[in-house]
Structure 1
Amino acid sequence: METTTDNGKTVAIIAYIFLIGWIIALIMNNGNKTALGSYHIRQSLGIMCVGAILSIIAGVVSIWILSVIINLALITFWLLGFITALQGEMKPVPVLGEQFQEWFKGI
């Protein structure tokens, strides 16, 4: 039987497994909300949203080096968030992590 802490950590980790993982984590968290799970669901959503917006911009301006830099930054942010979730900690990703918590506070 999972405790609330275990459930929160599981949700936090699943939130970083692509879009389908994020949806599963959101559903799991709605059934048994935890601060850790909610925190990482917001972080992951923020990374995905910023990634989508920056990818569109990079595609429009067609500068391949910009696209490479954006992808490297997104992978770095994803890894940092994922590692923090594995450790059961609530550390924001660099640059916009605190904003993600504010923007998506309804989740």
Structure 2
Amino acid sequence: MNPEEIREGKTTAITAYILIVGVLIAMSMNGETKNRFAAFHIRQAAGLSLLFISVGMIASPFGNWLISAPLYFANMILWIYGVSTAVRGEMQPVPLVGSFFQKFLKSI
């Protein structure tokens, strides 16, 4: 991928990491000019948003912060990793689940 394509898609990629609203905004920003860098990060951010919602659904019945806090903390670390790779202009999937997000959300 050339540096020009990364530069053009960086704003869209970073926008995608603003939870689910950012994913929707980034998808509309990337609608006309399909940028591969932006699409990669949109898939990563969408996967992280779905993971966050899933963690909430799994952890909420327990009602115990000793169970939910580590799950939310792990999700936050993955989110920080995704944002930092977008800011640096890299296409690194988030650890553990990033490759799955790319395969599962390939239609985005």
The TM-score normalised by the length of structure 1 is 0.91
Which position in structure 2 is the counterpart of 1:47? Answer: 48
User: How is 1:1-107 mapped onto 2 (pairs within 5 angstroms)?
Assistant: 4-107=5-108
Count of matched residue positions in the alignment of Structure 1 and Structure 2:
105
> Which shows bigger deviation, 59-68 or 8-17?
59-68
One-letter code of the match for 1:14?
T
| Identity between Structure 1 and Structure 2 (%) | 37
Q: CA deviation at 1:63?
A: 2.8
**Which sections of structure 1, spanning at least 5 residues, go unmatched?**
none
Tell me, in whole angstroms, the C-alpha distance in 1 between the residues paired with 2:78 and 2:5: 26
Structure 1 runs, 4 residues or longer, greater than 4 Å off: none
**Which sections of structure 2, spanning at least 5 residues, go unmatched?**
none
> Which shows bigger deviation, 11-20 or 79-88?
11-20
How well do the aligned residues superpose, as a CA RMSD in angstroms?
A: 1.2
